[in-house]
Amino acid sequence: MIKKILLSTILLAGSLFAETKTEYQISLVGMNMDYREYDRNGVLLDSEKSNFTDITGAEFQYRYFLDEYSNIALNIMGVEGDTEYVGAYIGSGLGYGSVVSTTSNTIRDIAIEYNAKNMSDLGVMMLGGIGAGYRYWQRELSSTQIEEYTWYSLRAKVGVEYQYANSITIDLILAYQYGIDPRMKASGFSSDFKLASANILQVSIPVRYRVNDVLDLSCAYVYEYQKIKESDVVYDSSVNGYVEPDSRASNQYLKVGMIFKY
């Protein structure tokens, strides 16, 4: 009897272990940035633009499957590169376009998520997820003017999934990130600029192709709309007051990678 119990326990543990899977995804990333700042009257102050090959990097994702329909995922993305800055010197009065230069950018995004999917009554696979994240963005406009934006975020997403011939999976996902404690640190200021808000809306279309039991190929297009609202007033050493203005960014990402399944 004891032997039967031990054998049953071993078989059950082996079955559970066999059903538990993990995935590691590594992707190359290209980012197209279109960032713009506006004054209180809606007048364009400055802009940052790049092509997909100007800002590049990588993304790593670890996914642990709780069961066939749910998982916990860790995402880490890092990109770096240059944008073309068009604007004006502060206080010059010359207006937008009087200065053209290059800005060096560094972006880091980290998130942990719970994801689930379920077949709806209409026969459509529905996707959903919640999570939390952290975003860091450094803009080096010159050696003496460096700005660092940071915030935490609560994240939620919904979507649908379509599978073709058991080898190709296409998702359409809508996601929202609500920024918490957004701040901007700038050279020459002892205090941080406390931003009124920093939120992101994303639409993504990830596609994966099954090669075999242990490898998939992946690609994704992501459109990201980022909106930051004006900060409080911060004073420099000469007691001059400044604000970080409203800004909007329409960013796009192309991601190509591999998924290793265990």
pLDDT score recorded for residue 5: 40
pTM: 0.89
Domain 20-261 in CATH 2.40.128.100: yes
Residues comprising the chain, all counted: 262
Element (H, E) at 226: strand 215-231
pLDDT value, residue 222: 98
User: How far is the CA of 251 from the CAs of 33, 51, 55, 73, 193, in angstroms?
Assistant: 5, 10, 11, 23, 23
Contact, 155 vs 175, CB < 8 A?
A: yes
Q: Distance between terminal CA atoms of the chain? A: 34
CB atoms within 10 A of CB 108: 16
From first to last of the 262 residues of the chain, give the pLDDT tens digit. Answer: 444 444 444 444 444 444 559 999 999 999 999 999 999 999 999 999 999 999 999 999 999 999 999 999 999 999 999 999 999 887 777 889 899 999 999 999 999 999 999 998 888 899 999 999 999 999 999 988 999 999 999 999 999 999 998 899 999 999 999 999 999 999 989 899 999 999 999 999 999 999 999 999 999 999 999 999 999 999 988 888 999 999 999 999 999 999 999 9
Tell me if residue 188 falls in helix, strand or coil: coil
Q: What is the DSSP letter of 244?
A: P
Compute the distance between CA of residue 252 and CA of residue 249 in angstroms, rounded to an integer. Answer: 10
How far apart are alpha carbons 81 and 79 in whole angstroms?
7
Residue 10 phi, psi (nearest 5): -65, -45
Domain spans, the chain: 20-261
Do the beta carbons of residue 39 and residue 242 sit within 8 Å? no
Question: Which residues fall within 8 angstroms of residue 53, CB to CB, at 6 or more apart?
Answer: 30
Q: Which helix (H) or strand (E) holds 119?
A: strand 99-119
